[in-house]
Every structure is written in C-alpha cells, then in structure tokens.
C-alpha cells in the first residue's frame, strides 16, 4: 500500500522543496505532480532534489507537445 500526497497545482514553485521534504518526514511514499499549471518536470526535479526516498510521479505528461510528427 502506498501513501500518496498530491502537490497542489496552484502551489508556488518556491514551496515545492519544503513541501516534498515535509511529506517525506510525515511518512508519505509517493508525491503526485499534476501538470495543469507548472511544468511537471520542474516540479518533479525540485521535489526529488529535496528528498531521499520518495517516488515522484506525474499524470500523463507529453514530453514533446510542440514537435511535429
């Protein structure tokens, strides 16, 4: 069983690291990063840099949405 915390999509980027570290201290296993407001890769990188054991995951993220096929 996983205990999941979801980063609030309206949260400021400056608060990601502290929020992720707190979630880890509280015993969460996973941080879920939405991609509705901020770049989910940036939010994920900030969370990963501030934690040691958390899994960070996103919903469906398109890596190259502006690249024509």
SS (H, E, C) the chain: CCCEEECCCCCCHHHHHHHHHHHHHCCCCEEEECCCCCCHHHHHHHHHHCCCCCEEEECCCCCCCCCCC
Q: Which of 59, 55, 62 is nearest to 30 (CA)?
A: 55
Please check whether residue 64 lies inside any domain of the structure: no
pLDDT given at position 49: 97
Structure tokens at 11: 């949260």
pLDDT given at position 18: 95
pTM greater than 0.85 (yes/no): no
Structure tokens at 5: 């915390």
Please check whether residue 65 lies inside any domain of the structure: no
The answer on pLDDT for 26 being more than 90 is: yes
pLDDT given at position 63: 65
pLDDT band at residue 47 using 50, 70 and 90 as cut-offs: very high
The answer on pLDDT for 65 being more than 90 is: no
Q: How many domains does the chain have?
A: 1
Please check whether residue 67 lies inside any domain of the structure: no
By residue range, what is the domain housing residue 16? 4-58
Please check whether residue 63 lies inside any domain of the structure: no
CA dist 23 and 5 (Å) reads 7
């Amino acid at each position: 069983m996983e205990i999941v915390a979801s980063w609030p999509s309206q949260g400021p980027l400056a608060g990601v690291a502290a929020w992720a570290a707190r979630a880890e201290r509280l015993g969460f296993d996973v941080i879920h990063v939405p991609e509705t407001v901020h770049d989910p890769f940036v939010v994920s990188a900030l969370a990963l840099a501030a934690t040691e054991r958390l899994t960070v995951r996103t919903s469906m993220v398109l890596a190259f949405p502006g690249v024509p096929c």
